[in-house]
Amino acid sequence: MKLKVWYWAIVLVLLPTSAHAYVDPGMTGFLVTSLLGAMAAMGYVVRQYLARIKLWITRKPPVEETQDIDEKS
């Protein structure tokens, strides 16, 4: 059943049809801007996850203080 659905989805996508549509330069600019924004967002997310992984790998144990505040003075 799933194979049949995928088959028809691929056939419908690949069939040539006439759109009779006009893509003006404003639409092209919108698409380019959207693509660049999506790429920047993906880069930010990847950078954040890599920073978390790096922090998890290089995390040092907390340093315990051996002196009280009164002994320092």
If the chain, 73 residues long, is cut into consecutive pieces of 10 residues, what is the mean pLDDT of each piece?
Answer: 83 79 84 96 96 86 62 54
Q: What is the dihedral of CA 48, 49, 53, 56, to 10 degrees?
A: 60
pLDDT at 63: 66
Give the per-residue pLDDT at 67. 60
pLDDT of residue 50: 93
- Confidence at residue 8, expressed as pLDDT on a 0 to 100 scale: 87
pTM of the complete model beyond 0.75 = no
pLDDT of residue 22: 80
Angle at alpha carbon of residue 34, lines to 9 and 49, rounded to 5°: 90
